[in-house]
Chain A
Amino acid sequence: MRTLFDKVWAAHVVVAETPDTPAVLYIDLHLIHEVTSPQAFSVLKGLGLPVRRPDRTLATMDHSTPTSSDQVFGGVPIKVDAAAKQVRQLEQNAAEFGVELFGMRDARRGIVHVISPELGCTQPGMTIVCGDSHTSTHGAFGALAFGIGTTEVGHVFATQSLLQRKPKTFAVNVEGRLRAGVSAKDLILAVIGKIGVSGGTGYVLEYRGSAIRALSMDERMTVCNMSIEAGARAGMIAPDETTFAYLKGRPRAPQGKDWDLAVARWRTLVSDPGATFDASVDIDASALEPMITYGTNPGMVVAIGANIPTKTGDAVFDKALHYMGFHGGEAMLGKRVDVVFIGSCTNGRLEDLQAAAQILKGRKVAPSVHLLIVPGSQEIKRAAEAAGYADIFKAAGADWRESGCSMCLGMNGDTVPAGQYAISTSNRNFEGRQGVGARTLLVSPFTAAASAVQGRITDPRGML
């Protein structure tokens, strides 16, 4: 009796683990981007090595790229010089090593964790790595997907393999059904609040139960994306009909007879009944509320109608609240909002934009608020424009951009000014994450859009 993780792991062991040596694990898909690959390419050059499997390597640019159309499409140069250099470096490296690149003006470009599923590159049972901790996103398809450092990016370039110790398994059982206005983002924030920001360290999470089965692929990706915020390098969901329906017909998914064979194999990728996990937690989805963070890590989270907790004698807690300009015992609802960011690899997909459009339709963004909406990919941008969401955003007074990581991390020109409050659908509320001195509150797209309209932290359920 094996877990989903055990099955995927076992299928990729090239050399078995021993007490003295880690396993050699084969990697099916290596995603790369401009920020964590240059030093790895330099290592290859130094050793005179090729990329072993360019056919299993896919490059794009997302982190340091601007989101304004004139910078992306060449009306004006990229404003951040070092970012422009990084972009050029990836173009040169991809050409030199024969790696397929979805570059700045490619219609398929986008956030690496958005485009790989969108193209059908991400498939059940694969091992997928990328020099980015949110690689856990791809676990939504029943892949074993995790972030790696740049040295390991070099290892995969050279050998298509990694040295890995087998992690432990952790079952996250979520039963019941999310109520209206409560989203996958609220679910994962609740999980992180419950197990803590290091509760998953050393584990691969498997999200299970009726609430997970009822989620769409966009929602499953939101859940798996934030596994790392609980310390887990990977989170997985067993593939099912929802997964197969999402993948069928995508450009890089298996086609024809290969599709049938693939689906037959993918159907075996479930934890066997009675398979045991090293740890587990139970969550009742039907009891969840919209969630919001109040501190400086994603585990500092409460239901939106709740007050900030009070703690005495906890210097770290006090430091976080001081940074945020909050006090223990205060209500979250009604607090001032300066910037609202809807986007990122957590919540920049079409269903996220649909949720925002549902709230923003026929409404205006509060005059004091800057609402930035950034699609996760150029494909999503086109789809949102075709569906009329972009028109709703623009009519509401939102700033509608080209795809990229944007304001999730302040390295591409999109930043939150010091001291301002940013309601954000991204994944990290660390100090300075969205700009020096920026104060981030993590929420769902519903809550972000509702708060943008009111200019205050708002429970979206009154506006649906």
Chain B
Amino acid sequence: MEPVIRVHSKTVVISSSNIDTDQIIPARFLTTTTKEGLGRQLFADWRYHADGSPNPHFVLNRPESHGAQILVAGRNFGCGSSREHAPWALLDFGFRAVISTEIADIFTGNSLKNGLLPIVVDAATSAWLLEHPGADVDIDLESKRLTLPTGVSVSFPLDAFARHCLLNGIDELGYLRSKTADIERYEAARTW
């Protein structure tokens, strides 16, 4: 995995709360057997009309969203299913970070394992970001700080291990496999 140290980008705002993984990528697209190309189906039911043409009113179809790497969303982003297709689709589209006041557990884990940053911020920072789409935001993993274009800087929580893996491009499976001797000992010691 490529190291992730910093994301600096303008934002795209989808202010809805409780954006579930069925919105991020509907189930009918999960018949794929690879990870590639899912960006086309990101937010498919909001992004396209029934005939497949783009909905020009949806934010991702507007020219000002082009090239944005940070998605700002309402509370409880990524709830619902465990489909890792959700972060795969966001990454394939070009996003590198999602910011909300709450992000669902399974989505958080899936995102971190793929280099998509799930950034949880306080209500005031979130409110400012929701009100200022297109704002230039800096996310620095080393200092665990998010900086707004106003100069206001806030810290965000991030699991120490996930941060270490992201900063150094470490694949978690490699770490887990380094514990094989412990796993063997555990299996041997189990009496039930």
Listed in ascending order, the chain A residues whose CB lies under 8 Å from chain B are: 14-15, 19-22, 24, 26, 35-36, 38-39, 42-43, 47, 63-64, 80, 82-83, 85-86, 89, 131-133, 135, 147-152, 154-155, 158-163, 165, 197-198, 201-202, 228, 231, 233, 261-262, 265, 297, 299, 315-316, 319, 409-411, 418, 428, 430-433, 436-437
With both beta carbons as reference points, the residue of chain A lying nearest to B102 in the complex is identified as A198
With both beta carbons as reference points, the residue of chain B lying nearest to A44 in the complex is identified as B173
Which 7 residue pairs are nearest across A and B when measured between Cβ atoms? A82-B31, A149-B110, A147-B82, A149-B84, A38-B33, A409-B27, A198-B76
Q: Are B30 and A63 in contact, CB atoms less than 8 angstroms apart?
A: yes
- The reply to whether the CB of B65 lies closer than 8 angstroms to some CB of chain A is no
When each residue 26-43 of chain B gets 1 if its CB lies under 8 Å from chain A and 0 otherwise, what string results? 111011111100000000
Q: Are A151 and B105 in contact, CB atoms less than 8 angstroms apart?
A: no
With both beta carbons as reference points, the residue of chain B lying nearest to A165 in the complex is identified as B159
Which chain A residues lie closer than 8 Å to B192 at the CB level? 261-262, 265
A420 and B74 CA atoms in complex are apart in Å by 28
A304 and B13 CA atoms in complex are apart in Å by 36
Which chain A residues lie closer than 8 Å to B31 at the CB level? 35, 64, 80, 82-83, 85-86, 411
Q: Are B80 and A233 in contact, CB atoms less than 8 angstroms apart?
A: no
The smallest C-beta distance from A105 to any residue of chain B, in angstroms, reads 20
Partner of A430, one of B22, B75, B180: B22
Which chain B residues lie closer than 8 Å to A135 at the CB level? 82
> In this complex, which of B102, B109, B180 has the most chain A Cβ atoms within 10 angstroms of its Cβ?
B109
The smallest C-beta distance from B17 to any residue of chain A, in angstroms, reads 5
Q: Can you list 15 residue pairs at the A/B interface with Cβ under 8 Å?
A: A14-B182, A20-B161, A26-B186, A38-B34, A42-B33, A151-B173, A159-B177, A162-B176, A201-B76, A228-B106, A261-B192, A316-B16, A411-B27, A432-B23, A433-B22
Which chain B residues lie closer than 8 Å to A133 at the CB level? 80-82, 106
Q: Are A151 and B114 in contact, CB atoms less than 8 angstroms apart?
A: yes
Which chain A residues lie closer than 8 Å to B79 at the CB level? 197-198, 231, 297
Which chain A residues lie closer than 8 Å to B186 at the CB level? 14, 26
- The reply to whether the CB of B50 lies closer than 8 angstroms to some CB of chain A is yes
- The reply to whether the CB of B104 lies closer than 8 angstroms to some CB of chain A is yes
When each residue 159-186 of chain B gets 1 if its CB lies under 8 Å from chain A and 0 otherwise, what string results? 1110010000000110111011011001
- The reply to whether the CB of B155 lies closer than 8 angstroms to some CB of chain A is no
Partner of B179, one of A83, A147, A159: A159
A85 and B31 CA atoms in complex are apart in Å by 8
Q: Are B45 and A432 in contact, CB atoms less than 8 angstroms apart?
A: yes
When each residue 47-85 of chain B gets 1 if its CB lies under 8 Å from chain A and 0 otherwise, what string results? 000100000000000000000000000111001111110
Partner of A432, one of B17, B26, B81, B179: B26
Q: Are A233 and B106 in contact, CB atoms less than 8 angstroms apart?
A: yes
Q: Are B102 and A432 in contact, CB atoms less than 8 angstroms apart?
A: no
Q: Are A15 and B179 in contact, CB atoms less than 8 angstroms apart?
A: yes
Which chain B residues lie closer than 8 Å to A231 at the CB level? 76, 79, 104-105
A43 and B171 CA atoms in complex are apart in Å by 12
A-B pair count, CB < 8 Å, reads 172
Please name 15 further chain A to chain B contacts, defined as beta carbons within 8 Å, in addition to the given A148-B106, A162-B176, A198-B76, sorted by A numbering. Answer: A36-B82, A63-B30, A89-B33, A132-B81, A133-B80, A147-B81, A149-B82, A149-B106, A159-B177, A159-B183, A201-B102, A228-B106, A299-B18, A409-B27, A410-B26
- The reply to whether the CB of B15 lies closer than 8 angstroms to some CB of chain A is yes
Q: Are A197 and B18 in contact, CB atoms less than 8 angstroms apart?
A: yes
Known: A151-B84, A231-B105. A431 touches B45 (CB 8 A): yes
Which chain A residues lie closer than 8 Å to B8 at the CB level? none
- The reply to whether the CB of B20 lies closer than 8 angstroms to some CB of chain A is yes
Which chain A residues lie closer than 8 Å to B180 at the CB level? 159
Q: Are B35 and A39 in contact, CB atoms less than 8 angstroms apart?
A: yes
The smallest C-beta distance from B98 to any residue of chain A, in angstroms, reads 15
Partner of A14, one of B32, B82, B179: B179
Known: A149-B82, A319-B16. A197 touches B76 (CB 8 A): yes
- The reply to whether the CB of B6 lies closer than 8 angstroms to some CB of chain A is no
Which chain B residues lie closer than 8 Å to A152 at the CB level? 109, 113
Known: A36-B83, A82-B32, A411-B28. A158 touches B105 (CB 8 A): no
> In this complex, which of A15, A151, A154, A202 has the most chain B Cβ atoms within 10 angstroms of its Cβ?
A151
The smallest C-beta distance from B192 to any residue of chain A, in angstroms, reads 6
The smallest C-beta distance from B134 to any residue of chain A, in angstroms, reads 20
Known: A21-B161, A431-B22. A158 touches B176 (CB 8 A): yes
The smallest C-beta distance from B72 to any residue of chain A, in angstroms, reads 15
A72 and B118 CA atoms in complex are apart in Å by 40
A370 and B179 CA atoms in complex are apart in Å by 54
Which chain B residues lie closer than 8 Å to A147 at the CB level? 81-82, 106
Which chain B residues lie closer than 8 Å to A160 at the CB level? 183, 187
A301 and B161 CA atoms in complex are apart in Å by 38
Q: Are A85 and B33 in contact, CB atoms less than 8 angstroms apart?
A: yes
Q: Are A24 and B179 in contact, CB atoms less than 8 angstroms apart?
A: yes
With both beta carbons as reference points, the residue of chain B lying nearest to A315 in the complex is identified as B15
> In this complex, which of A26, A133, A148, A418 has the most chain B Cβ atoms within 10 angstroms of its Cβ?
A133
The smallest C-beta distance from B180 to any residue of chain A, in angstroms, reads 7
Which chain A residues lie closer than 8 Å to B177 at the CB level? 158-159
Which chain A residues lie closer than 8 Å to B105 at the CB level? 201-202, 231, 233
With both beta carbons as reference points, the residue of chain A lying nearest to B34 in the complex is identified as A39
